[in-house]
Homo-oligomer: A and B are copies of this chain.
């Protein structure tokens, strides 16, 4: 009877290396772009960058984004609600996120 606990670093512990490392993967970048395009939250499968990715791989990508401080995950019924921690990232590294997401590739 163990609830899944999500690890979210506080704003002050979000590191540049962590953020860059999390975004340095085409799949994770697409996940973040999807989340940035949404005003509200998305489930993991909604934000999945491609349909044929293994569930465990997707789950791992979300964990990496979460632990880097890029997204916040909460549980809502059977799904997970993922939101971009835009304010926290902007407070820590102003304009970085917007700039990275602005490049076409």
Residue in contact with A15 in the complex, picked from B17, B21, B96, B105, CB distance below 8 Å? B105
| Chain A residues with a Cβ closer than 8 Å to the other chain, count | 18
Task: Looking at the assembled complex, report how far the CB atom of A1 sits from the nearest CB atom of chain B, in whole angstroms.
Answer: 38
Query: Which chain B residues lie closer than 8 Å to A95 at the CB level?
Result: 99
**Interface mask (A92-105 → B, CB under 8 Å = 1, otherwise 0):** 01011001100101
Query: Which chain B residues lie closer than 8 Å to A18 at the CB level?
Result: 24
Q: CA of A26 to CA of B23 in the docked complex: distance in angstroms?
A: 15
Query: Which chain B residues lie closer than 8 Å to A21 at the CB level?
Result: 20-21, 24-25
Given A93-B103, A96-B99, A96-B100: A20 touches B17 (CB 8 Å cut-off):
no
